[in-house]
Structure 1
Amino acid sequence: MSTSTLVRGTFILTLGTFISKFLGLFYVIPFNELVKDEPGALALYQYGYIPYTIFLSIATAGVPLAVSKFISKYNAIEEYEVGRKLFRSGLFLMSLTGILSFLIMYLLAPVFAEMVIESDEQAVSVDQVVSVIRAVSFALIVIPVMSLIRGFFQGYQSMGPTAVSNVIEQIVRIVFLLAGVYVVLFVMDGSMTQAIGVATFAAFVGGVASLALLVYYFLKRKPHLDKMRAQGKNEMDVSIKDMYKEIILYSVPFVLVGVANPLFQLIDTLTFNKAMASIGLAAVTDLQLEILNFTTHKLVIIPVSLATAFAMTLIPVITSSFSKGNWNNLNRQIDQTFQILLFLTMPAAIGLSLLAEPAYTVFYGADQLGTEVLRTYAPVAVLFAVYTVTAAMMQGINEQRWSVLSLLVGLLVKLALNIPLVQLMEVQGAVLSTSIGYVAAIVINLIVIKHFAAYKYRMVVKRTMLMLIFNVIMAVPVLVLYYGLGLVLDPESRLQAIIILFVCGSAGAFVYAVLSMKSRLADRLFGDRITRLRNRFS
């Protein structure tokens, strides 16, 4: 795949992912308004979603992205029939694992609920958590098949169906969620538990809509895919047993890497309440965990959406270069990816940290604790992004075993530090333990990439230092404007916070863009399009 194709594919997937993530971020404003009078509502919502995310990764077993890698590998040598054969059997397997995962999650809901609720003083009860977990578990029936079809298209380096279906899934889910919660609370005069149950069941409705769209895409493109298969070499006869042996080798690391962030959150869910109860703060533990795992996390994860798009695009691309033994192309792709990733995520994370107060106010209303957590949590987005992409790179060069090791090390570090740090620093301790855990995992990933891809970090380090300088320069006008506007505007007012956020954010983006254009860093990362753009406006 050429550099332009890599950038184009990444752009399409990034655009779809960003739209999906922004929709997933902005819906919390009306959602929060609907349930703001219900204590523990957002915490209850998150108690259901974290185990669901983990079960979803188990249900898909990493197969969608593994299928993407498998199909890309055989398409590179024009053996299209091998990929189609795998796709047919994969549909049956994903249907089966989806149903089994649904049944297991539904039946084990009481066990998980009893693990997370530590005290009767908490705002959420065991029965409420059981109800919500069971409501969201229905989505497991359709999501695995949907994810497999996405992986199939990505194996053909077609990112459009994934991007569009992501957006449609999010739109349908959000509309159903907001309408359902409103009807339950204000029309039927139902309970908070019923409303949150409807909110989590929206995942199933969105999944059905996305699956229907992907089936439409497949039927529309089937004649072209059949033509490619007919014109392929079709000389290899890979058995189903051999296929799944290869898929299992691919998929186990995908399971762990794909569920990395939810596993870090799960550690918080299982240990945070214990730590807080041990220091006599059981009455406020649900609120603090809600801020950590839901409100601030929703904002922090936005810059990471770029990393997600890169990871999904990189797997077939790097696999193709690695399979062909094109080491120069492989190193260029790794080099470009690191630099673009840091170029975009660093200013976003730093800007969010600088403007934590107005950002939190815009989405959730003024809250001092929420602002403080967001300010320290926002820079961790860079670690999330780098981990996701380095793990994808290791899978692309067939070093999956090391990605498993790095994740396990990171989780063990998080688990070992979480309770003592929470007891010492409360919610900020959980943020710190997450950061240290991710750093440990990333260091291992970087060492593995350097060794097995013969990759040298000299240029990335040099460009990263330049980007850090640009970010420091960018921060100066942002802070000056922020404190200046704070003299005449109230950052605790949602409308005035929007003005502060827009003015300061725009100024920071403008300064960063000018510095990048003047230094020609943007040209080196994004190519001739930026050069033509600068010449047009010069």
Structure 2
Amino acid sequence: MAQEKTSLLFVKGAAILGVAGLVSKLLGAVYRIPYQNIAGDIGLYVYMQVYPLYTTLLILATAGFPIAISKIVSERTAIGDVQGARRSFRVASIALLILGLFFFLLLFGGAPYIADFMGDDHLTTPLRAVAWSLPLLPMVAILRGYFQGHQNMMPTGVSQVMEQLIRVVFILLAAYWAMYIHEDAYLAGTGAVFAAFPGGVAAVLVLLWYWRRDKKNNPALYADTPADEGDATSENNPTWSNRQVLASLLRYALPICIGALVLPLIPLVDSITVINMLQWSGMEEHLAKVMKGAFDRSQPLIQFGTFFATSLSLALVPAISEAAAQRQHQLIATRSEIAIRLTFLLGLPASVGLALLAEPVNVMLYGDSNGTQAIAVQSLTIAFATLSIASAGILQGLGRVMRPARNLLIGVVVKLVFNLLLVPFWGITGAALSTVLAYFVAMGLNVLGVKKYTGAKISWRQTALRPFLSVLVMAVVVLVVEWGGYALLGGVIKSERLFHTLVGLIAVGAGALVYLLALLKTGGLTRGDILYLPKGKRISAFLTRLRLLPPSKDHVENA
């Protein structure tokens, strides 16, 4: 009974964190579009120059520590060592606050040198603005880890969403104030990166509210002495020393920290190299900044494109872990094969569709066509990034946590090398191509790892050939609809943005419908695949009624 309750708590907690993570990611992708509309490409450039460096330092200061703290707290609580759990919390608090303060001083004091290294001295103020949140956010990580250690995931989930929501609202308000009152894109960028501080304050307040409520409901966990009568240092209730707590904390947190650290390195490479390479090739400074801002337009589009893969990855890790714990090797292979196929089925049309419709989508979202070619090239990242995320989820479920990080780090090296080679000659299109190559390499290494460790037999006819044929049909229809939309609506609609919006939406709708029909007709999407999707049975039954899927064997037998 106790085991079932623990399993239920785990599943519920994973679901809460999964939903909160997806909502946070969605908010994180959405806000950059209205922000660019307010602050322009220069404002977006300022934000994207500073934010990847901040994210890198934040990961160094906090990533892995909530999980490490939760693990230590849950272990000490499980053996009745309540004081040991509290000691772990105190030691982690002091260590992370010192680390956060160190990175604050490093970024605040080193801002002029970092700005100069990035090729723009005006970035000093934005760099210093974002530094203020670094001493605060470790406290968020500590509190989240403590609650997770007591199997209470709600405070983490609510604080994540609230932090992101307050940050996004502050970014948009600050950008509006800076542009419409002061007409200063750098001030807008400064406000946007400073938004991490009020977001962090909101998260701390939410967590402290939960802390106060939990303290009232569970006073034994917060008492000066353990809940049971007995000495805190007895054999039944041993307490760790500070050194033991710190050693255990680092042992758990560092591998996760290193793995998470790789993700912001690709945009950080762009922050360091693109502006410098553009100016080195002879481009005027202001134009280089505008082009970098136009290049950064593709980031939210790629995040949207990989949203499904992120959701699938969150579901894959526990599913693969469960099968691995039960030594069900065939089930691991089957789930891996289906995950790879479904991810590719969605990533490929998203890449090709965005590449074909880059201009109308660009004008629809950002108001002009700057950087359209770079968006078209970088859209190919979606197919490789989705496969990379899904395959990383499979490897993590098998306990191979560091392998995806290593593979992505190799991709970062590829990104750096090709940025240096291509940007001086092809500009931001070269930077876009180097991103595609980076994710292609990381994806390829991950998929090879999946085949090696799961024994999955990936049928390239089923996984790639049929989707390629379906995408080819989709591409023809999209191009015809796009051309027809330009011809029919060109003289009717005067607003360029509304014109491109209508053309883009009609072409996207037609392309999605044709791609689905082509997949069903070629057998690229089977009933078995559909059943793995959310509401799969209902979708399958609906498609069967429309005669887009053949009746199932059970249906035929019952008839």
Q: TM-score, normalised by structure 1?
A: 0.80
Residue 10 of structure 1 contacts residue 313 of structure 1 at CA under 8 Å; is this kept in 2?
A: no
Cα drift, residue 18 of structure 1 = 5.0
CA distance in 2, matches of 1:384, 1:72: 35
1:506 to 500, 509, 513: 509
Of 121, 127, 130, the match for 2:124: 130
| Structure 2 counterpart of 1:32, one-letter code | Q
In structure 1, which of residues 31, 38, 43 is the aligned counterpart of residue 35 of structure 2?
31
How big is the shift at 1:318? 4.7
Match of 2:133 in 1: 139
Q: Distance in 1 between matches of 2:92 and 2:200?
A: 18
Q: Is 2:544 the counterpart of 1:526?
A: no
Larger Rg: 2
How big is the shift at 1:523?
A: 2.5
- Alignment-derived partner of residue 208 in structure 1: 201
- Show structure 2 runs of 5+ residues with no match: 222-226, 228-234, 546-559
Would the aligned equivalents of 2:334 and 2:456 in 1 still touch at CA under 8 Å?
A: no
Structure 1 residue 132, shift from structure 2 partner: 0.2
Change (3 A) 1:526 1:404: closer
User: 1:121: which partner in 2?
Assistant: none
Residue in 2 that maps onto 1:120: none
Q: 1:502 to 1:45 in 2, by over 3 A?
A: same
The aligned counterpart of 1:483 is: 483
User: CA 1:178/1:409 → structure 2, altered by over 3 Å: closer, same or farther?
Assistant: closer
1:177 and 2:178 aligned? no
For 1:326 and 1:224, the matched residues in 2 are separated by 40
For the residues of structure 2 that align with 1:391 and 1:536, how far apart are their CA atoms? 33
**1:355 match:** 357
**Structure 1, 386-395 or 257-266: larger mean CA deviation:** 386-395
**Shift in Å, 1:133:** 0.7
Matches within 5 A, 1:184-333: 184-187=178-181, 189=182, 191-216=184-209, 248-283=250-285, 284-292=287-295, 294-311=296-313, 314-315=316-317, 318-319=320-321, 322=324, 325=327, 327=329, 330-331=332-333, 333=335
Q: Any conservation in 2 of the 1:17–1:309 contact (CA below 8 Å)?
A: no
Q: State the shift of 1:48 in Å.
A: 1.7
Aligned-partner Cα distance in 2 for 1:31–1:50: 17
| Range that drifts further, 302-311 or 244-253 | 244-253
Change in Cα spacing, 1:257 to 1:5, as seen in structure 2 (3 Å) is same
What is the CA distance between 1:387 and its match in structure 2?
Answer: 2.8
Matching residue of 1:458: 458
The whole-number CA distance in structure 1 between the counterparts of 2:526 and 2:401 is 38
The answer to whether the 8 A contact 1:421-1:429 is kept is yes
CA distance in 1, matches of 2:444, 2:338: 19
1:30-49 equivalent positions in 2, closer than 5 A: 30-36=34-40, 40-49=42-51
Select between 341-350 and 159-168 the one with higher mean Cα deviation: 159-168
Match of 2:387 in 1: 386
Task: Give distance in 2, aligned partners of 1:463 and 1:160.
Answer: 38
Q: Report the counterpart of residue 424 of structure 1 in structure 2.
A: 425
The letter for the 1-side match of 2:173 is: A
Whole-angstrom CA distance in 2 between matches of 1:322 and 1:352: 37
**Cα distance, 1:202 vs. partner?**
1.1
Asked whether the equivalents of residues 306 and 385 of structure 2 are also in contact (C-alpha less than 8 Å), the reply is: yes
Matched with 1:535 is 541
Contact 1:26–1:363, Cα closer than 8 Å, also in 2:
no
Change (3 A) 1:40 1:183: closer
Q: Do residues 447 (structure 1) and 453 (structure 2) align? A: no
Pair 1:63-2:65 in alignment: yes
Report the CA distance shift for 1:321/1:376 in structure 2 as closer, same or farther (over 3 A).
same
Contact 1:276 1:285 in 2 (8 A): yes
SS of structure 1 residue aligned to 2:297: helix
Deviations 1:401-447 (A, max 9, x none): 53453233222222222212112322121122222223223333333
| Distance apart, 1:520 and its partner CA | 1.8
- Return closer, same or farther for 1:458/1:182 CA change in 2, 3 Å cut-off: closer
1:493 matched to which residue of 2? 496
Farther off after superposition, 259-268 or 44-53: 259-268
SS at match of 1:495: helix
Does structure 2 conserve the Cα–Cα contact (< 8 Å) formed by 1:10 and 1:309?
no
Q: Which position in structure 1 is the counterpart of 2:554? A: none
Q: Following the alignment from structure 1 to structure 2, what is the Cα–Cα distance between the partners of residues 333 and 87?
A: 38
SS of equivalent residue, structure 2 residue 454: coil
Give the superposition deviation at 1:375.
0.9
Measured at CA, do residues 272 and 183 of structure 1 come closer, stay the same or move farther in structure 2, by a change above 3 Å?
A: closer
User: Residue 141 of structure 1 aligns to a residue in which SS?
Assistant: coil
User: Does the Cα contact within 8 Å between 2:91 and 2:245 map onto a contact in 1?
Assistant: no
1:267/1:415 contact within 8 Å kept: yes
Q: Hey, what's the Cα distance between the residues in 2 that align with 1:139 and 1:263?
A: 20
2:81/2:239 contact within 8 Å kept: no
Instruction: Write the distance in 2 (CA, Å) between the matches of 1:507 and 1:165.
Output: 40
Percent of counterpart pairs with the same letter?
Answer: 27
- In 1: Cα distance, 2:342 partner to 2:384 partner: 15
* Contact persistence 1:516–1:522 (CA under 8 A): no
Give the partner amino acid of 1:134: R
Q: TM-score normalized by structure 2?
A: 0.77
Distance 1:447 1:237, change over 3 A: farther
Deviation of 1:397 after TM superposition, in Å, equals 3.3
Counterparts of 1:349 and 1:285 in 2: how far apart (Å)?
27
Q: Which structure has more RCO (C-alpha within 8 Å, separation ≥ 6)?
A: 1
Q: Is the contact made by 1:65 and 1:251 (CA closer than 8 Å) also made in structure 2?
A: yes
The answer to whether the Cα contact below 8 Å between 1:73 and 1:316 also exists between their aligned partners in 2 is no
CA 1:22–1:406 in structure 2 vs 1: closer, same or farther (change >3 Å)? Answer: closer
Q: How many residue pairs are counted as aligned between the two chains?
A: 518
SS in 2 for 1:456: coil
